[in-house]
């Protein structure tokens, strides 16, 4: 701001050679008029190379293979979270019709011994910890892993308390239904976002997944 508000210096002492006083006119080169603020902002230009880089980074598309791997990773917590919908399936039998398209894939997944255990470590060690994959793939895979780990916590609580009647049973049913809805929303959000090449940020999961990368 000091450069924009400098003081103009004038000398009012007449020249010794001048016998009669004359009005003093300061030379033009002794002062400069500060530019307005909007003109100063307009002079700041982004270099062509940097602007080209920004355009490329914003328009860069995610490869189809990365989208496919990222989308498939969300099937792990989704398949393991279907057990929380047992009470909703009993209360609303029509809800099971929505899962008919993926029933063959689910049957294949359940037919493999220790499929959940193998898929978990294959996803974590083979994808998340593999630097050859892009960050897009590793981040989505890590979100799926974290979400799958969180699904184990309600089962542990059920084994500890094991409510069979009364308020405890109603709370457990409500918790199971809420978890199932949450898993379904996260699965659809992650799947659609990965297919479109966008990075999904799941609540309660994204920050933990980002810290692991």
Neighbours of 88 (CB within 10 A): 17
CA atoms of 125 and 120, how far apart (whole Å): 9
What pLDDT was estimated at residue 149? 94
Residues of the chain with pLDDT > 70, as a percent, come to 72
**Is the distance from CB of 138 to CB of 128 less than 8 angstroms?**
yes
Residue 13 has pLDDT above 50, yes or no: no
Burial class (CB in 10 A: 0-12, 13-18, 19+), 67: buried
Residue 199 has pLDDT above 50, yes or no: yes
What pLDDT was estimated at residue 167? 87
Q: What is the 3-state secondary structure (H, E, C) of 32-79?
A: CCCCCHHHHHHHCCCCHHHHHHHHHHHHCCCCHHHHHHHHHHCHHHHH
What pLDDT was estimated at residue 57? 34
What pLDDT was estimated at residue 58? 33
Domain boundaries, the chain: 62-211
**33-42 tens-digit pLDDT:** 444 544 434 4
**Is the distance from CB of 139 to CB of 209 less than 8 angstroms?**
yes
- pLDDT band at residue 60 under the 50/70/90 scheme: low
In the three-class reduction of DSSP (H, G, I as helix; E, B as strand; rest coil), residue 94 is classed as: helix
> Which residues, including other chains, have CB under 8 Å from residue 106's CB and lie 6 or more apart?
79, 82, 99
**127-177 tens-digit pLDDT:** 999 999 999 999 999 999 999 999 999 888 888 888 778 888 899 999 999
Residue 48 has pLDDT above 70, yes or no: no
Residues of the chain with pLDDT > 90, as a percent, come to 44
């Amino acid at each position: 701001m000091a450069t924009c508000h400098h003081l103009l210096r004038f000398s009012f002492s007449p020249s010794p050679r001048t016998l009669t006083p004359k009005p003093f006119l300061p030379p033009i080169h002794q002062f400069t008029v500060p530019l307005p603020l909007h003109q100063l902002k307009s002079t700041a230009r982004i270099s062509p190379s940097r602007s080209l880089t920004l355009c490329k980074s914003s328009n860069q598309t995610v490869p189809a293979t990365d989208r496919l791997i990222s989308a498939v990773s969300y099937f792990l917590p989704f398949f393991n979270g279907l057990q929380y919908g047992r009470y909703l399936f009993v209360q609303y039998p029509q809800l099971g019709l929505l899962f008919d398209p993926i029933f063959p894939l689910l049957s294949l997944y359940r037919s493999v011994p220790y499929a959940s255990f193998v898929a978990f470590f294959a996803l974590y060690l083979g994808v998340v910890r593999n630097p050859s994959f892009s960050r897009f793939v590793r981040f989505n895979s890590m979100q799926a892993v974290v979400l799958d780990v969180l699904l184990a916590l309600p089962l542990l609580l059920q084994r500890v308390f094991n409510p069979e009647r009364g308020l405890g049973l109603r709370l457990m049913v409500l918790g199971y239904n809420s978890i199932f809805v949450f898993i379904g929303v996260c699965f659809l959000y992650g799947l659609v976002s990965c297919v479109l090449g966008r990075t999904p940020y799941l609540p309660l999961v994204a920050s933990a997944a980002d810290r692991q990368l």
